[in-house]
Structure 1
């Protein structure tokens, strides 16, 4: 059988293993092989390339309007961080083709320095996932996946966009595949002066310009009937200027980053046995300039060397065993941060058992032990079950223990680093209920989470800030989403509406955590008629406290923002689009004092060869 074919057939049939059945299908290769299994037990929002193009400015915009994630952004295109279910950015895992890419210094993904283009699919999963995806997967995880397919011939595409504030975005992709080889290369360049104004509050985004570029290369080759090797690499370069409020008296600053990610994989697949071995290298380089006309004032370089093996063995049509082992070496060096050359070895072993009682009832249990140099890490576990009780009703239960170990900044920053920190740990419970009536799907998921040994930087007796294990945080709430899709003749209509309620409380003060809105709505409607496509999308964000005392005067008021776009395809290969963002000219901010743009526009052209 082709590489990955048995696994695709296996999980597409909800656990009914098809050992003897051969079937002619177009094989696709997904670098994150675990995601198909995750979707059997968890709610995962999947965004494809056409979804991402609606919010092509940056990854922050895409997540803000098309997911339950709260985005805290210091003005358009600047520093940005995500929050799942009332947790922090450090408790959100970014996963690139199955590899955790959170910074070893900050412990989080720098959203606007992660390229939006170059990925065929983005998966957004709320809830803990440390058993599979490691440190930081406490509140949720964001998965950036590349996909290679076979027997598709030669294809090429070009996307070019021009918008308000001298914003330009260009993306090109070329691919070739036959029955043995699949190759894809893409490149992106974005630039913006980003000098927008919000007259109602006398705000101008001074010194807000940015530019970034990236190149993606991916290759897969079937070396034998049951063996496939593949390679994927990404090279990213970013430059952000940080906004200032008073150009005459404030010094202009900027931040530059260069990231490299490279992965080699060997997949061995038979009808009862699959093994995915990966060797990866990731590198992060960053420089901060406290004066844009002077040399860098601080920076750092981090290098990760990763070996990961994912073994699946099918005991029978009902039992599946999964063993995941990983070893990595983290090397870091800071500049003007007190962090000299430091290194850390990390190993982990995860075991999962899946039992498919019937086509409509399945269970999964997992356990994991991490071995982090100089840090005592807890034993993690996960328990999941999924039951399609009725034709129109399905329910899933998930219980897990997750964790995050301290970053290099937490441990070694000078002055203030604390080498005696313990990892953060959390317990999570969620119960997903899904109803399906005709073309409508509704999911309702209440959840509860408790986090222990939260790492926070607090003032010390020496007059500086230092990280300590302090608060316990209790988070609970509800996530729901209704989806509709219908085709009738030449018409196609698709829509979704999501709502999340997030209560995240410091157990000592009994106050809501900073930058955790109680309510968030997001929605998208797409309509297509032959060559014409129209979409609208909206996002409502409730009252958001910006301090630890729930001070109403300092809180961000609720706001509602709506976007719309239209596109038409002519001569089959040419698509021209027009977008209006913030239609109602809403004045809003996601971070105190840093306002987002009011109504603005863009026009784009897509050419397929």
Structure 2
């Protein structure tokens, strides 16, 4: 690799791009301009969003963290807890204390949850391909589809119709032989736009760590020491392309075509408790993924018609090899899976007046899955057809109250599932002020994944679907504060939400007497908690600033039948879900220089359902700090950015998953050039 790493526009500079939807249309935000930033107050009293708890990641943060995976971005800047199996390894989401499969993930309107496992590995999604990131919390996800008992994460791309030609190249180098390269090219005019993004990431990932999974006992003193090990067999590489085409023949019609292709190859390190030979227990995973989506949007005077069709093809190979004397490396597992998904949507929304609107939508998806282990000969070949009908009625009353009623009906392989209703409201407490009381009540429903039903060995075809009944109440406040005393303006936005979700037939994988794991239904899980978010940004003289923070209190407890589940797990927090979590981000910018501090903290997590507080079954709290410093330069029409990042600033020792180490203090340097 040539020279080095990373770049990113400063938060205040890019805040000007924070408004608008993926197509640059929609409701315009109010903009109050100051010297270096635009203080943008978004509309938070919208009848189509009544009762919904939603959050988004600022486009500035997306650009600033383009070299990271989406798992890192979500854990640092949202209320979602990410369970990481190591740097560059499997990373899944726990949204509001729910399981990984309870978070629905959509890319440009098509669902990308793995039909086999029912979840998404966020370590395989680079932030570089994300332009918009919107989260719908809890029952708000029913606006997208059913099954999001925790919520939904929506990834989008947007078009800039003003672009004539743009070229951007970023290159980085970091600790553990980490190299990143990113190239984007865009061109077009007011009717046609093309955007191409290429990326490549590589890391040997061979960091050193204190291995607390192995203890050496001094026979004389009885003292315990832990060896310093290297994270071997942990390298990864990823490369991909995102191609976008947009066509606007007139102001009433827009067409788009997007293709995202990616290949990833990673070795999976052994658990830190492993004490066998170095040439055995070698794990490797290869992923090849292609997604295509095309849509047509027609805008009439009072309505909008949208037709969307997508295709997803995913190939995953996993192998486990052991050294056999005289033979060499012999596979103990060689699993191959192939998934084809066809995803289609037709929707129409109509504004009968400024006070009343309606929407109807139909989804028709088909999944075909083949999974085989060539060593054992086990596997399955299954398909699933999913059809979903959706209607919504939204009404505003006296400019103080919004009501949102949504109803969803699904059919799985021709069998009708229970109706899923949602009723939400917004109440403007003070006329003319953005102080909003909001709430909702909803039902949700999720069918088991194909792996849960048919995996060999262990699948359970007798599993019952998961059902949830949720309640939510919150208050949201927003204000643009006036300047004075050298200040040119500030935007304050904060929200507090309390929620409760009662879920029956929760699916969990447990060890069986047959010698392998299998899924079972828990009679009842109760997830409840508080969510708090706050954001303040603006300018103080020549210094622009932006601060944001979140806090989550999450109680997710097992209330399964004690006759089936031991009393030790009854009423206990589910494994790997922290009760307390939060993050804070502070960014300062002055005359092209910028500085960002990021802090994340998590309370203790238990690794067993009985919440045993032993060192083996308990993950201690940890506090993570990152620091970024950089400078923007400009020469004629060419801009440059140099940036230096320090991750894990105070060299914290921590684990996200038992026996899976995480790196200590590490560094990254990045350069960007933009035409």
Q: TM-score normalised to the size of structure 2?
A: 0.83
Q: Which residue of 2 aligns with 1:21?
A: none
* d(CA) in 2 for partners of 1:524, 1:328: 39
Q: Which residue of 2 aligns with 1:373?
A: 413
- Pair 1:97 & 2:99 matched: no
Larger mean Cα displacement after TM superposition, 239-248 or 91-100: 239-248
Cα distance change of structure 1 residues 511 and 276 upon mapping to structure 2, 3 Å threshold: same
What is the Cα deviation at residue 111 of structure 1?
1.3
Instruction: In structure 1, list runs of 5 or more residues that go unmatched.
Output: 15-34
Q: Which residue of 2 aligns with 1:285?
A: 315
Query: Contact conserved, 2:203 with 2:236, CA < 8 A, in 1?
Result: yes
- Pair 1:586 & 2:652 matched: yes
What is the Cα deviation at residue 441 of structure 1?
2.3
Q: Which residue of 1 aligns with 2:164?
A: 153
Larger mean Cα displacement after TM superposition, 487-496 or 95-104: 487-496
* d(CA) in 1 for partners of 2:66, 2:626: 9
- Pair 1:403 & 2:464 matched: no
Query: Contact conserved, 1:118 with 1:187, CA < 8 A, in 2?
Result: no
Q: Which residue of 1 aligns with 2:626?
A: 563
Instruction: In structure 2, list runs of 5 or more residues that go unmatched.
Output: 1-19, 31-45, 213-227, 323-328, 482-490, 561-569
What is the Cα deviation at residue 483 of structure 1?
0.9
What is the Cα deviation at residue 344 of structure 1?
1.4
* d(CA) in 1 for partners of 2:423, 2:24: 23
What is the Cα deviation at residue 209 of structure 1?
0.6
Cα distance change of structure 1 residues 189 and 210 upon mapping to structure 2, 3 Å threshold: same
What is the Cα deviation at residue 436 of structure 1?
3.6
* d(CA) in 1 for partners of 2:74, 2:573: 23
Secondary structure of residue in 1 paired with 2:159: strand
* d(CA) in 2 for partners of 1:470, 1:521: 29
Secondary structure of residue in 2 paired with 1:340: strand
Q: Which residue of 1 aligns with 2:607?
A: 546
* d(CA) in 1 for partners of 2:25, 2:311: 31
Once the two structures are superposed, residues 553-592 of structure 1 have per-residue CA deviations (whole angstroms, 9 ceiling, x without a partner) of 1211111110000110112500000011111111011111
Secondary structure of residue in 1 paired with 2:429: strand
Query: Contact conserved, 2:357 with 2:394, CA < 8 A, in 1?
Result: yes
**From 253, 260, 268, the counterpart of 2:290:** 260
* d(CA) in 1 for partners of 2:50, 2:657: 33
Secondary structure of residue in 2 paired with 1:43: strand
Secondary structure of residue in 1 paired with 2:456: coil
Q: TM-score normalised to the size of structure 1?
A: 0.91
Q: Which residue of 2 aligns with 1:27?
A: none
- Pair 1:524 & 2:550 matched: no
Q: Which residue of 1 aligns with 2:277?
A: 248
Once the two structures are superposed, residues 387-443 of structure 1 have per-residue CA deviations (whole angstroms, 9 ceiling, x without a partner) of 222225222212222222111111211222222322211111111212345333221
Cα distance change of structure 1 residues 567 and 40 upon mapping to structure 2, 3 Å threshold: farther
**From 334, 343, 346, the counterpart of 1:306:** 343
Residue pairs, 1:186-585, within 5 angstroms: 186-199=197-210, 201=212, 202-244=228-270, 245=272, 246=275, 248=277, 250-291=280-321, 297-336=334-373, 338-373=378-413, 377-390=417-430, 391=433, 393-436=435-478, 438=481, 439-460=491-512, 462-508=514-560, 509-553=570-614, 554-571=617-634, 573-585=639-651
* d(CA) in 2 for partners of 1:276, 1:527: 41
Q: Which residue of 2 aligns with 1:18?
A: none
Cα distance change of structure 1 residues 525 and 181 upon mapping to structure 2, 3 Å threshold: same
> How many pairs does the alignment contain?
586
What is the Cα deviation at residue 541 of structure 1?
0.5
Larger mean Cα displacement after TM superposition, 286-295 or 514-523: 286-295
Q: Which residue of 2 aligns with 1:71?
A: 82
Q: Which has the larger radius of gyration?
A: 2
RMSD, matched Cα = 2.4
**Greater relative contact order: 1 or 2 (C-alpha under 8 angstroms, separation 6 or more)?**
2
